[in-house]
Amino acid sequence: MKYPSLTINKSKLSHNIKIIQDLCTSNGVSFCAVTKVFCANSEVTQIFYDAGIRDFADTRIENLKKINYPSTTKWLLRAPMLCETEDVVKHSDISLNSELSTISALSQKAQKTKKTHKVILMIDMGDLREGIVPKDALNTCGEILKMPNIELYGIGANYNCFGGVIPTQESLNEVVEIAETIEKNFGINLKVISPGNSGSIHFLTSKTMPKRVNNLRIGEVILLGRETSYQQHIEGMFEDVFCFDAQIIELKTKPSMPTGEIGLNAFGEKPTYVDKGDMIRAIIACGRQDVSIDKIIPLDKNIELIGQSSDHTIVDVTNSTTKYKVGDILSFKVSYGSILSLSTSEYVKKVLV
Ligand SMILES: *Cc1c(COP(=O)(O)O)cnc(C)c1O
């Protein structure tokens, strides 16, 4: 085995996918599987594909390029940059948008390649990340409908992200109303109403999803087994699909207080210390460029993460009942933020078990 490693349990992941598939199906909602947290790692997307997932979504076009299974639909979740519109038309079927100038650029690129690109217009329902304000919906749709090789495929909204706003039934109903106003005004049918992510799972478990909502974009709950509005565990789902392991490279009894005058640490911060006398300190071979210690939880409850530089993490193992030695592995529970950074770090091995 090579370390540090992010381990992904295949059967637990397949099981979690199945639970969300059943939950969505029984509520008449489709979903696209969001792959951004694990950088669309191809061994992991294969598990999704094998489980029957055909709609894949990511915020980065680089990640969507890696997903090449037959009969799939690829969604770009982050509004395209003007510099990437050619790639967006080439490597995605649907993109989420909020700027007419960008959609117009997509239209031009789509005409060149004789493709039709599908656009989901994002409405900002108060989370204050992407989206047009609701009162601009009709005008914006009017413009989109004029653009060649662009299909106005639906509307969407995002919650639980920048503002942490929790979606309510009232807010989802408003999205549906906006959709129906657009449909009536232009005499069209919007195929997709997609107002949410893992923060909208509670509408499925309580069977309170407004009727016309027919899509969600789902990442986190599949990976971590918890919805993100109230952090509730979803019955039957595994919370430990992922696990992080790092190896001890030094283990010594040292004081808890540094010796000498204290200046700035490697990151320009002035550290403070509590004198706890001598302690047994382990150094594990991972650092800030792999993961932050605030975002991982040791499985050994008697050890404490006390600090980190770029490539070293210092652990107080004084109170552990395990007699650690150099070469031993410390294991950690991960969160959304740590899966993200561990997946991004090329130093961390991704291991499927
Ligand atoms: C990341 C993202 C999602 C998925 O969110 P999860 O909380 O992981 O389910 C959905 N929509 C957009 C626009 C996103 O950026």
Q: Which of 321 and 273 is assigned the larger pLDDT?
A: 321
**In the predicted model, what is the mean pLDDT of the chain?**
97
User: What does each C-alpha distance from 154 to 25, 95, 161 come to in angstroms?
Assistant: 20, 10, 21
305 in Cβ contact with 296 (< 8 Å): yes
231: Cβ contacts below 8 Å, ≥ 6 apart: none
Handedness of CA 129, 141, 213, 340 (dihedral sign): negative
How confident is the model over 234-241, as a mean pLDDT? 98
Residue for token pair 């933020």: 337
Q: Strand locations in the chain, DSSP E?
A: 5-8, 30-34, 55-58, 73-76, 94-97, 117-122, 150-156, 192-194, 215-218, 242-255, 278-284, 296-298, 304-308, 313-316, 329-334, 349-352
Helix (H) or strand (E) holding 108: helix 100-112
DSSP sequence for 292-340:
-GGGEEESSTT-EEEEE-SS-EEEE-TT-SS---TT-EEEEEE-HHHHH
Tokens standing for residue 84 = 């990437």
Question: Closest ligand 1 atom, CA of 197?
Answer: 9
Taking 90 as the threshold, does the pLDDT of residue 262 lie above it? no
How confident is the model over 4-26, as a mean pLDDT? 98
Angle between helices 100-112 and 137-146 (to 10 degrees): 20
Q: How far apart are CA 313 and CA 292, in angstroms?
A: 9
Q: What is the CB neighbour count within 10 angstroms for residue 253? A: 9
pLDDT tens for each residue of 32-84: 999 999 999 999 999 999 999 999 999 999 999 999 999 999 999 999 999 99
Pick the range with the lowest mean pLDDT from 29-38, 222-231, 253-262. 253-262
For the chain, give the longest Cα–Cα distance: 76
How confident is the model over 82-96, as a mean pLDDT? 98
- State the pairing for strand pair 313-316/278-284: antiparallel
Residue 96, strand partner residues: 120
Q: How far apart are CA 247 and CA 97, in angstroms?
A: 44
Supply the pLDDT for residue 238.
98
102 in Cβ contact with 132 (< 8 Å): no
195 in Cβ contact with 125 (< 8 Å): yes
Q: In angstroms, what is the span from residue 32 Cα to ligand 1's centroid?
A: 10
To test the ligand 1 pocket, which listed residue (30, 34, 64, 124) has its Cβ within 8 A of the most ligand atoms? 34
Taking 90 as the threshold, does the pLDDT of residue 266 lie above it? no
How confident is the model over 269-277, as a mean pLDDT? 87
57 in Cβ contact with 34 (< 8 Å): yes
224 in Cβ contact with 335 (< 8 Å): yes
**Catalytic positions:** 36
33 in Cβ contact with 17 (< 8 Å): yes
Q: In angstroms, what is the span from residue 257 Cα to ligand 1's centroid?
A: 43
Query: Which pLDDT band, with edges at 50, 70 and 90, does 271 fall under?
Result: confident
Supply the pLDDT for residue 149.
98
Q: How far apart are CA 218 and CA 198, in angstroms?
A: 5
* Residue having the nearest C-alpha atom to atom 13 of ligand 1: 77
How confident is the model over 109-125, as a mean pLDDT? 98
Q: How far apart are CA 122 and CA 195, in angstroms?
A: 9
- As for ligand 1, residues whose beta carbon falls within 6 Å of it are 34, 36, 59, 77, 96, 158, 197-198, 217-220, 228
User: What does each C-alpha distance from 235 to 20, 203, 351 come to in angstroms?
Assistant: 11, 14, 26
pLDDT tens for each residue of 148-180: 999 999 999 999 999 999 999 999 999 999 999
Supply the pLDDT for residue 265.
87
Question: Closest ligand 1 atom, CA of 199?
Answer: 7
Helix (H) or strand (E) holding 146: helix 137-146
To test the ligand 1 pocket, which listed residue (158, 193, 203) has its Cβ within 8 A of the most ligand atoms? 158
Q: How far apart are CA 214 and CA 197, in angstroms?
A: 12
Supply the pLDDT for residue 269.
87
